[in-house]
Amino acid sequence: MTTQVFRVLRVHAGTSPVARIDAVDADGHDLRLEVPRDLVRSAAPGRLLVLQWTMHDVPGVVAEPSQAQAAAPDAASGANQGRPDPTAVDQEFMEMMARGRKAATSSPPAAQGRDINRELSTLLGGAGAKGKS
């Protein structure tokens, strides 16, 4: 049985027969619990909510693994299962960024000696910059 302790942040008990308790544990994990409104009479912000829970199989139903369980790598194998080494990926990224910075520091040959304002004015069909003829 798992026991968790949450600090109540809010109690939403309007005209509905269902109330919601918003709480957070010491690790910052949120809990939102909907219960019959009559059960939250003593609930108030700042109080502690102690939750004990367990998981059980439903009799006669075979549980299928969830997507998270199916996608999770086998921790016992310790293998990356075809994934590249994270250190190698980091190194490749750093090399790529260094190449990108070198290329960005020098202006491309096509851009050297161009008057971008004049080209834009020509493309837009304008008469040129203000004050110039």
Q: And the tokens for 24? A: 């957070």
Domain membership of residue 26 (yes or no) is yes
Total domains in the chain come to 1
Asked if the model's pLDDT at residue 19 lies above 60, the reply is yes
Phi then psi dihedrals of residue 54, to 5 deg: -140, 160
Domain membership of residue 115 (yes or no) is no
Domain membership of residue 91 (yes or no) is no
Q: Which long-range contacts (CB under 8 A, 24 or more apart) does 22-30 make?
A: 23/49
Parallel, antiparallel or unpaired: strands 30-36 and 18-24: antiparallel
Instruction: Give the mean pLDDT of the chain.
Output: 78
CA distance 80 to 58: 34
CATH of the domain at 47: 2.40.50.140
Domain membership of residue 130 (yes or no) is no
In terms of residue numbers, what domain contains 39? 2-54
Q: And the tokens for 52? A: 């004990």
Domain membership of residue 10 (yes or no) is yes
CA distance 21 to 8: 7
Higher pLDDT, 98 or 47: 47
Among 4-8, 18-22, 61-65, 109-113, which stretch is predicted with the lowest mean pLDDT? Answer: 109-113
Domain membership of residue 59 (yes or no) is no
- At residue 40, the pLDDT reads 87
